[in-house]
Structure 1
Amino acid sequence: MSNKRTILLFVVLAYGFAWIIWLALWLSGVGLNSPWIQLASIVAMWMPALAVFILGKITNQPSGIKSKLVVKLKSNWRFYLLAIWLPAVISFLGAGLYFLVFPSNFSLGFESIQAILQEKGVLQSPIPLSSVVLIQILASLTYAPFLNSLFALGEEIGWRGYLYPALRERFSLVQTHVLLGLIWSLWHLPINLQGYNYGLTYFAYPVLGIVAMFLFCFSVGILLSWLMEKTGSIWASALFHGAINATAGLGLLFQLPGEKMSSLLIFGPSPAGIIAVLPCLFLALLILRRERKHHEFCK
């Protein structure tokens, strides 16, 4: 089977398995706050890995994933530290940029946490809200990236472990990242159409959300591929992926709640927003430019 056909088959499988899960829950009317959605998202994150496994059985060709699951920590520890803590820097810079544009949305009263507690029937937090925020920040910088990487690994096996090198065999470095960003972002479409990441009340729904998700996946995808190539391990990209998921919501702790604020989630403060993604996009383009020159020099 040709490289083009195996790529297409992988995409169909990765989309099909995940979309069946998300669309089934959407049609059943389950809300985003339901634990079923959280469970479905965890399962869906492993569907690209399942697609790689099934693709190997169909084509009877080795995927090469096993060699990329080796952790060479001694020679690459700096990149693993970057994978753990760089996402926090990106998230805070993005949130800071968002709040510079929308300063009236920023608050140190942590009303968003109080609103969540009230929705759950808790009228007053047993500990100060500032302590709750501190615990969340510490968690996102310590154990949360490792915990989340166990879920993110399923995606990384598919997107970075298989699809990235497969696309590189056919396309240039820039074309590969654009295509991978597009494929990865549209993979999230069913759950984003339900309001995940951006809500349902933003301007030009859902087109602007599709654009925002592409910018985010394109930017983060470059960093993830760069880490995998530098370390030779999918675990580095999985750790970064887990860390970005752990830190993406930190900016929301300082966001005022309310319907008006919800319509601005398309811009931030999570790094998936159009404004908040800019620091990540800037860094990704710098790395892409450097890697492109390196590849041209090696030729």
Structure 2
Amino acid sequence: MKRDRFNFHQIETKRIFVYLAIVFCVYYGLWLIAILLPDSAGNAIYSFLGFPVIFMGTPALSVFFTRKITCDKSAIAYNIKVWKSKKNALVAMFVPTVLVFVGAVLFYLIFPNDLDYSGNYIIQTFGSFGVPSEINFTVPSLLIIGMVVCTISAFCVPSWFIALGEDIGWQGYLLPLLCKKMTIRQAVLLIGALWGIAHAPLIYSGMNYGLDYAGAPYSGIAMMILFCMTIGIYMSFVTLKTNNCMYAAIIHGAVNIIGETPIFISLSTQSVLLGPNPSGVIGMSVLLIGAILLLFKLPNHKMNS
């Protein structure tokens, strides 16, 4: 009996390391190739790695190979029927999304001179899609637009399934394994940290933060790890509560959309490490406070137990 239990724990450990080895070999292997190649070729590798099918699909593919290698036939914490629990679905759709919106509002309250009422960035970026050549925003109109974006982000179903490629790996597969090896709180924090470290090649190449900020690119990598740990708490909470990582994908997809919009009305006079996007400390602040509170309310039960 003791031998069986020992073997069980050994196979769980093996699955954790096989999954992580595949994920990081892909991400960091491509990163190393990009660094070693000339600039043009290296940039092409970074673009390839940053393509959603590649970056977000790698964790899902890693699950497939890990299960094959370790003969894992256990159920994955995934179910597409999210509306069986409307409450959890609505919480996943709106709570982190609204907190990101509030964080952006807080940033512009602190730095009101950074607010671009003329919408120059929007005109330059989306002018070819029919955006007017002249825009005159007001504070009320920006708040209304922000609430509309919150709603669109929450209900953008395609973004859920794009995000699912990552979340079925980190939340649906790795989280239950880690919960069997350590406390739930430790597992949740570790998942977030590993997920953030996985983003290091993209941050190094300039994604999210660019390359012109204090301590670049290493301060950006550290900030991304903090952001992934923060949003990861929300994602792990709903996954643990429902035994279904699809709710995490809803959060991830919604935050991916609204998280990139605050910069559209910024004059960019402040460091990206501050905000207004949630990848900056002020933009993230409200989300972070909620995550700290949520960390102490994590479900006590372990998934698939």
TM-score by length of 1: 0.83
Instruction: Give, in angstroms, the shift of residue 278 of structure 1.
Output: 1.3
Residue correspondences, number: 284
The answer to whether 1:201 aligns with 2:212 is yes
Residue of 226, 235, 238 corresponding to 1:224: 235
2:246 alignment partner AA: W
Conserved 8 A contact 1:215-1:274: no
What does residue 215 of structure 1 align with?
226
Q: Work out the CA distance in 2 between the residues paired with 1:130 and 1:151.
A: 34
Q: Work out the CA distance in 2 between the residues paired with 1:78 and 1:136.
A: 23
CA-atom RMSD in angstroms = 3.1
Residues 45 and 231 (structure 1), Cα distance of their counterparts in 2 relative to 1, 3 Å cut: same
The answer to whether 1:16 aligns with 2:25 is yes
Most deviating of 52-61 and 200-209: 200-209
What does residue 110 of structure 1 align with?
119
Conserved 8 A contact 1:84-1:243: yes
What does residue 93 of structure 1 align with?
102
Conserved 8 A contact 2:103-2:278: yes
Q: Work out the CA distance in 2 between the residues paired with 1:85 and 1:201.
A: 33
What does residue 192 of structure 1 align with?
203
- 1:115-126, aligned counterparts within 5 Å? 115-117=124-126, 125-126=131-132
Q: Work out the CA distance in 1 between the residues paired with 2:228 and 2:283.
A: 13
Conserved 8 A contact 1:21-1:44: no
Conserved 8 A contact 2:49-2:55: no
What does residue 43 of structure 2 align with?
30
Residue of 242, 246, 260 corresponding to 2:257: 246
What does residue 156 of structure 1 align with?
167
Residue of 277, 285, 299 corresponding to 2:292: 285
What does residue 11 of structure 2 align with?
2
Q: Which stretches in structure 2 are left out of the alignment for 5+ residues?
A: 1-9
Q: Work out the CA distance in 2 between the residues paired with 1:88 and 1:68.
A: 22
Q: Work out the CA distance in 2 between the residues paired with 1:46 and 1:140.
A: 25
Deviation string, structure 1 residues 168-198 (Cα, Å, up to 9, x no partner): 1111222212211211001001010011111
Q: Work out the CA distance in 2 between the residues paired with 1:38 and 1:246.
A: 20
Q: Which stretches in structure 1 are left out of the alignment for 5+ residues?
A: none
State the percentage of identical aligned residues.
29
Q: Work out the CA distance in 1 between the residues paired with 2:279 and 2:297.
A: 24
Q: Work out the CA distance in 2 between the residues paired with 1:185 and 1:22.
A: 15
2:233 alignment partner AA: I
Instruction: Give, in angstroms, the shift of residue 238 of structure 1.
Output: 0.8
Q: Work out the CA distance in 1 between the residues paired with 2:80 and 2:173.
A: 15
TM-score by length of 2: 0.81
Most deviating of 105-114 and 162-171: 105-114
Instruction: Give, in angstroms, the shift of residue 226 of structure 1.
Output: 1.1
What does residue 165 of structure 1 align with?
176
2:162 alignment partner AA: F
What does residue 50 of structure 1 align with?
61
Q: Work out the CA distance in 2 between the residues paired with 1:54 and 1:164.
A: 17
Q: Work out the CA distance in 2 between the residues paired with 1:230 and 1:181.
A: 17
Most deviating of 148-157 and 203-212: 203-212
Q: Work out the CA distance in 2 between the residues paired with 1:199 and 1:137.
A: 27
What does residue 152 of structure 2 align with?
142
